[in-house]
Every structure is written in C-alpha cells, then in structure tokens.
Amino acid sequence: MLDRLSGPLHLALAAGAAWLLASSPWLHMYRSLPRPAGFINLGHLALGLVALLLVLVYIAICSQGGRWRLYFPWLAGTMGAVGSDVVGIARGRMPTVEGGGLFAMIEGLLLLTLLAAGFTGAAWLVLQGTDAAMAWCDVHVVLARCFGGLMLAHLAAVSVHVLDFVRD
C-alpha cells in the first residue's frame, strides 16, 4: 500500500516544497510570528509542518526493502556507483537512473535537507520569542537554501534523463 502512495506523495511534496521556497522571501517571522500573521506566514507554517510529516512518510517508503542503500550510499558504504557516475560525467557520459548512483544520492540528500529544514522550522516555531529561536532561524534558512540548490540539481537530473529518454 505504501508503494502506491509514492507517486502522489512525491507530487505533493514537490508542489509543497516549491511553494515553501517561493513564499520564503515574503515571510515576516524573525523572533516570533507577527500579529496579525497574514496568509503567507500562516500558509508557510502550516504547509511546512505538513511537509515535515509527509517527508517522514516518503523517506520510509523510499527506504523499504533495503532501497535506502540507493538513496543513502554513504550509510551503506557503497559509494562506488556514485564515483562511477562522476567519472562518467567527466568523460561525457550521462549517469544512470536505475540502481543507485549520483542521481539517487541527490534524491536522498534532497529528502534529508527537506527533513532537516522542516525540523529546524518546527524548532524555530516552538521556541519563538526566545534568543534560541534566532539560532534555529539561521540554521533553517541555510538548510532551506541547501534544499533549493539540491532541488535544482534534482530537476536538472530529471531533465537530462527525460531528454535522453525522448532522444532514444
């Protein structure tokens, strides 16, 4: 049953994460949630908390049956496929999509940064009004930017794969 949720969950996370990234420049939450909070701030909070829960479920789905080794090869000690893909790129070859490697590792890092950004955002919310909230805010912003960069890398990898698929 969880495998059937994978596609819709991926789409929901992608759309939600895109909105979270797009709305972030208009946020006005620093030390605490402003009063009145407004649609953008409240929407970002609500969607961020939902995304935190959904990414936990999605990581569980992606990790079933030992597939975690594909997405997190550094944990499994199997970085060989990633190294082969990097060498292949240097030689003008496109990395493979199946069986792990660079693209799967990018997806795993993307999931982990979304999880970490969600966790730090939740911590920022819980600690609002305190000095610690500002520290969590700073970490949250860094992780969100890392997530944005990995999202771009993921989109580039998907685009290259789709172009290669159409070309054949």
Q: Chain-wide mean pLDDT for the chain?
A: 89
Full-model pTM:
0.89
pLDDT value, residue 165: 74
The burial class, CB within 10 Å (0-12 / 13-18 / 19+), for 37 is middle
pLDDT value, residue 146: 97
How far, in Å, CA of 62 to CA of 24, rounded? 27
The burial class, CB within 10 Å (0-12 / 13-18 / 19+), for 136 is buried
CB of 55 within 8 A of CB of 108? no
Band of pLDDT at residue 168, cut at 50, 70 and 90? low
| Digit-coded pLDDT (tens) for 70-99 | 999 999 888 999 999 999 989 988 887 777
Domain residue spans of the chain: 2-167
Q: Is 11 helix (H, G, I), strand (E, B) or coil?
A: helix
| Digit-coded pLDDT (tens) for 27-73 | 766 666 777 888 888 899 999 999 999 999 999 999 999 999 999 99
Band of pLDDT at residue 25, cut at 50, 70 and 90? confident
How far, in Å, CA of 28 to CA of 8, rounded? 31
Residue with tokens 């649609």: 39
